[in-house]
Structure 1
C-alpha cells in the first residue's frame, strides 16, 4: 500500500556576513556571486579591515578655474612644497589653496609628463623639453644642453680619438687638439658648420672669431692668426652644426622614466610618433645630454612602445601587443666607437607576445609587480619577468570588465580607455576612465598567483566610483589631488562627505540570494545590519525579490547623536562608538530570491556597513 508522509515543518536558517568587502562583480549573474560581492555598487570603498563606507568627498583647491580645457599633466608629488601642473600653454605652481602662478608660458598646449631627477623637475610634452630648478625657475633644457667633446688628442689636421657622441639636443660640439707650436690651421671633425660664432680656448685663454681666428664653415677649418704653443689637449674649439630632425627626436617624446639597473642614473624617453618603437636614453646623470646613438629599438616600428615601468633591476617595455625588458650591463664594448671604448649596454629580452598595453596612464607598480591595461582585454599584472612565457602575465579585472547586460570597464570605449589615468595611494590602485573610476584595494585583497587564474582574479575587490574626472594625479602624503579633464583646475579629496558641496551617491546592493536552496520558498521576516558610528545619516533600504521589483522601501536613521534630537532628561557624556545592530522587517514571504540594497544620496552623510545578518525560514518546496 502507498505510504503518505506529511510535509516537513518550516526550518529556520541564518546568513551572517561579518564583512561586506568583496567589491563589485559584473562577471556572473547576480545569483552566482560570492556572498560579500555586489552586482551594483557606487562610490563605496573598503578600508584595509574591510569596513565599507562612502569614499572621500571632493572640492576644488582654488575657487576659480584657469579656463576651459583639461590639465595637461602634473608632477605626482609636491616639488618645493608646491603642486606643479601644466595647463594650456603654461606650467603653473600652486601653494596650498592659493591661486596658481605661471612658471613659464609659450609652450605647446598638449599632454605631457613630469619627472624629477637630481633635484630638478623635467617636463616633456611632444614639443617642449622643460627643466624647473629648486628655485622654481623654468627654462628650455636646450638653452643649457651639454656640449660634448667629439674627439680628443687631435693633431691640428684632425684624426684624434673619438671621445663623446653628438648631443641630439644641441648643434654645439667640441674638439680638443694637442698643438705642435707651428700649425695655425685646425681641422674640425665636421664640415658644413652653422653661422653661429665659433669659440676657442688656447691654454685656457678664450679666443674670439674674426679677431683671433677665421673659420671656413664649408670645410670646417679654423685658422688662427698666431700658432698656438705646443701642449696636450691645450686647444679646444667649440662649433655648431645643425642636423635636421635631431632635436625633435627628443622633444617629440612624451614620456620619461629613470633607469640604470640597481642605480637610476639615466633618463629613458619614448612616445615619439616618428620613432614609435624607439626608447632614447640620456648620458650618465645628465638629462641635458642625449648621445645620438644611445637608444634601443624595441621590436618592430609597426608596434609602438606605450609605457615603461621598473621591476627591481629591470626596465619593462610595454608595447601595444607584446612585452619585453632590458637590464643594465657594464662594462661592454660599444660598437659605435670601436673596441677601445667601454660603456653601458642595455640588451633586450622578450617576456610575452600574447598581450600588450595601449593604456599608458594605467601603468603602476603594485606590491612590486607591474600593473597595466589593455583596452580590449582589461587590466593585468606581470608576475615575473625572468623568461618568455604567456603565464607570466595574469588578468586582474575580470570582476569589473563587464558582461552582456552588465556593463563595466571595457564598455567605456577605446578612446576613454586609452586616455585612462591611474594612481597608487599606498593601499588602493585607482584607474580613472572618463568621469568614472575603479578602485582595487590591494591590501585587503592582494593578488595571489596560485596558478588558478580565474579564482585569483575573482578574489580581487574592486569598487566602482562616479564623478571623478582625473587627467593626472598628485599625492601629498595621504592627500590626493587630480587635474581636471575639462577645466584648468586641481581637485582635492578630503573627509568631507560631499562632492563640490553636492551629494555623493553611495549604493551597495547584495547578490541575489537563494541561500543555497533554489528549490525552496523562503520567508525573510527580519534582519540586522550594523553601521559604523559617527555622524548623522539616513539609509534608504530596498528589498527586492526574484520578480525584480522593489517590494518595500524604508529610510533608517543610523545616527548615534543629533543636537536637535537631544534631551537633557536622557543626557549622557558617553559616546556610543559601537552602535547596536539595527533591526529591520523586510516581511518578504515565500520568495525564491532575496536581495537588499542600501543607499544614501545626501550631502555630508555617510553610508557604512560593518555586518549583515539575514535569518530566513525555508517554507516549502517550489513546485
Structure 2
C-alpha cells in the first residue's frame, strides 16, 4: 500500500494584529483575529494584564493627575464631575474643590504647584499649612508687568512688557523732571492705585499725591525731582490695577490644551483650545505660568479650524490643527534670539493634508511624536535631506477598524512602558514601540499593534511605570501590573477573553483539499502556574469548531508565585489529537477565557496531507 506523503507547516513567530485585509492575505506572523494580548519582552503575544477599581468619585472622571508639591509629597488628583479630589498612597480621595467645569481638563506641574485648565477656569493647587488649597490663578499673586518705561509725565514712553491677561495690575515706570506734577498713566479709567514711589521711596496717597482714577492720572503735591542718576532716567513708579475689557481673562481660562517649549529648554507654557479663539495660542512669560502677556498671541491659519495639540519634534514645536480645506493643518514653531537679546517664536506653515481629531491622543513614543487623525495614528517626521516636515502613517494594520470607531474626538491616549495605548469606546489600540515594521532605520515604518476590549477608559494617567484610567461612571482604575503572579489576569474580577488566530491559510495549494493528521499537530505555549487553552479551527465553510481544550497548571494548584517563564518552568506542548478533514482554508484560534490564568503563545506546528482537487 502506497504511503500518503505528509507535509509540515510551522508558525514560529507570532506578532500583532492585522485588520487591514482579508484573513487569507494576512502575513502568517500576524493575526486577523487577535484580542486582549500584548507582546512580551521577546515580542511574543501574551495575555494583557487586567485592571481593578481603586476609587469612585463624581462622574464622569474628567482628568487624572499627579504632582510632587514643594514639600516633596506626591499626590494624586482627580477631576470628577465638577469636583476636584486628592489622595496619597492608599488613602481615599478627599474633595478639595467644587464648582469646576464638567468637561475634560488638562494640567501641568510647575514650581511645586499644579495648574489645571478645565475650559472655564485656570486653577492652581498648592500646599498650605492646613493642606492643599485650590484657587483661580487670576485671584492670586500673578506676575505684575511693567507695561511702559521711560514715560514722561505727559504719558507715552516705551512699551516694555505686555499686559497680563490674568490681571489688570501693572506698573508704569516714569521720569520725574522737577517741574511736572501731573503724571498720565498708560490707560484709563483705573480701578485702584496700589503704590507710588519716587526714587524708590513710597509716597502716601492724600499727603504726597492724589489719584484721579477716572482719567488715569497721578497728581503730586510737589513735582518729583529729576533722578539723581541724571535727567531722563526713570525714578517714578506707579503700580495700579486697570479695568480689563470683558472676557479678557477668559482668553486663558477657557483654554484646555497645554505644552512647554522654549529656547534651549522648555521654559515657557503655551496654551490653546479656547473655543472663542480656536486658531490662537498664548505664550507665557519666562518660566512663569502666572504671566500670559497680550504680546504673546499667535494666530495660525484659518479660524474655522481649531488648534488640537502640540508635538515636540527635535528643536521645534509642531502645532497641530483639526482638518480643514483652506490651509495647513500643521504649523512649525521655532525659537530664536534677536540681536537685542529677545527670544521670539516665529511660526511657519508646515504640513497640509492630515489634521488631528482628538485633543487627548497626543503623545511621544520613544521620540516618535504621534497624534490621532480620522484616518488613523500619524507621526510627524523630517525628511533626511531637506529637513522638511511631513506626516507618516503608523497604524496601517488597525486603521480599517480604528478609523470606523464613532466618537474619535473623545479618544484618549498615553505612553506606557514603550506602548502607545489609545482608547475609544471601551477598546484599546496598542502600538508596541519596540516592534517596528517596514524600514525601521528611516522614518518609513509602522508598529505592531494589539487590540484590547473591556477598557472603559475616558482619561489616562501614566505614573512611575503604572497606568491609571478614569471612567465615565466615576471610577478610578489601575492596570494590575503591580500584582505578582496570575492574580493580575482579571478585569475587576471578571475573566479576560484573550485569543490569537492564524491567517486563513491555504497551505500554498488553494485548489487542493487538506487534512490535518491526528498526530503531529500541536501548540507551544508559555508556562504559567495557572493556564489553559482552547484550540478552535475555522474553515472556509464559516463553522468554528473546538478541537482541543487543555488545562496547563504547572503544579496542579493555584499558586500565584513565579507566573513568568524561568528555567524551572519549561514550555508546554499541547497536542491537538484531532483530525481535521478536507478543508481548503484553515484558521487556528488559540483562546483563554478563564479568570486569573496567564496565557501566551510561542508557536504552532501542523502536519497535513494533500487531498483531492476542489471541484
* Residues 46-445 of structure 1 mapped to structure 2, 5 A cutoff: 46-62=39-55, 65-67=56-58, 69-75=59-65, 80-133=73-126, 136-142=132-138, 143-194=140-191, 196-210=192-206, 212-231=208-227, 232-241=233-242, 242-321=244-323, 322-331=329-338, 343-375=342-374, 377-384=375-382, 392-402=390-400, 408-413=401-406, 416-445=407-436
Q: CA deviation at 1:438?
A: 0.8
Q: CA deviation at 1:471?
A: 2.1
Whole-Å Cα distance in 1 between the matches of residues 443 and 506 of structure 2?
A: 27
Q: Name 2:563's counterpart in structure 1.
A: none
| Change in CA separation of 1:587 and 1:77 when aligned onto 2, cut-off 3 Å | farther
Q: CA deviation at 1:39?
A: 1.5
What SS is found at the alignment partner of 2:249? helix
Which deviates more, 225-234 or 509-518? 225-234
Contact 2:195 2:238 in 1 (8 A): yes
Q: CA deviation at 1:352?
A: 1.6
Q: CA deviation at 1:260?
A: 0.8
Q: CA deviation at 1:183?
A: 3.4
| Change in CA separation of 1:91 and 1:212 when aligned onto 2, cut-off 3 Å | farther
| Change in CA separation of 1:620 and 1:66 when aligned onto 2, cut-off 3 Å | same
What SS is found at the alignment partner of 2:458? strand
Q: CA deviation at 1:30?
A: 0.9
Deviations 1:474-495 (A, max 9, x none): 2232211112233153434334
Q: CA deviation at 1:60?
A: 1.5
Contact 1:61 1:492 in 2 (8 A): no
| Change in CA separation of 1:389 and 1:274 when aligned onto 2, cut-off 3 Å | farther
Whole-Å Cα distance in 1 between the matches of residues 386 and 304 of structure 2?
A: 21
Q: Name 2:451's counterpart in structure 1.
A: 464
Whole-Å Cα distance in 1 between the matches of residues 472 and 8 of structure 2?
A: 48
Q: TM-score, normalised by structure 2?
A: 0.89
Q: CA deviation at 1:208?
A: 4.5
Which deviates more, 75-84 or 271-280? 75-84
Contact 2:53 2:477 in 1 (8 A): yes
Contact 2:51 2:492 in 1 (8 A): yes
Whole-Å Cα distance in 2 between the matches of residues 564 and 86 of structure 1?
A: 39
Contact 1:59 1:500 in 2 (8 A): yes
Q: Name 1:559's counterpart in structure 2.
A: 553
Q: TM-score, normalised by structure 1?
A: 0.88
| Change in CA separation of 1:550 and 1:163 when aligned onto 2, cut-off 3 Å | closer
Q: CA deviation at 1:589?
A: 1.5
Contact 1:354 1:390 in 2 (8 A): no
Whole-Å Cα distance in 1 between the matches of residues 391 and 156 of structure 2?
A: 52
Which deviates more, 29-38 or 342-351? 342-351
Q: CA deviation at 1:388?
A: 9.2
Structure 1 unaligned regions, length at least 5: 1-6, 333-340, 403-407, 566-573
Deviations 1:87-136 (A, max 9, x none): 22232222122111233333222221011234432111121111234664
Whole-Å Cα distance in 2 between the matches of residues 74 and 493 of structure 1?
A: 18
Whole-Å Cα distance in 1 between the matches of residues 162 and 545 of structure 2?
A: 77
Contact 1:197 1:209 in 2 (8 A): no
Deviations 1:226-259 (A, max 9, x none): 4445435332111222222221111111111010
Structure 2 unaligned regions, length at least 5: 228-232, 324-328, 560-565
| Change in CA separation of 1:564 and 1:313 when aligned onto 2, cut-off 3 Å | closer
Contact 2:113 2:126 in 1 (8 A): yes
What SS is found at the alignment partner of 2:317? strand
Contact 2:66 2:75 in 1 (8 A): no
| Change in CA separation of 1:90 and 1:235 when aligned onto 2, cut-off 3 Å | farther
Q: CA deviation at 1:443?
A: 0.2
Whole-Å Cα distance in 1 between the matches of residues 456 and 525 of structure 2?
A: 29
Whole-Å Cα distance in 2 between the matches of residues 94 and 585 of structure 1?
A: 55
Deviations 1:525-552 (A, max 9, x none): 2412121112212212212221111244
What SS is found at the alignment partner of 1:521? strand
Deviations 1:347-398 (A, max 9, x none): 22222211111222121122322211112x1111222178999993122222
Q: Name 2:600's counterpart in structure 1.
A: 608
Whole-Å Cα distance in 2 between the matches of residues 386 and 283 of structure 1?
A: 34
Q: CA deviation at 1:200?
A: 1.9
Contact 2:85 2:97 in 1 (8 A): yes
Deviations 1:533-592 (A, max 9, x none): 122122122122211112444320112112489xxxxxxxx9741133221123102211
Q: CA deviation at 1:295?
A: 1.6
Whole-Å Cα distance in 1 between the matches of residues 524 and 601 of structure 2?
A: 6
What SS is found at the alignment partner of 1:383? strand
RMSD between aligned residues: 2.6
Deviations 1:18-43 (A, max 9, x none): 2312x111211111111121122211
Whole-Å Cα distance in 1 between the matches of residues 370 and 526 of structure 2?
A: 33
What SS is found at the alignment partner of 2:186? coil
Contact 1:351 1:389 in 2 (8 A): no
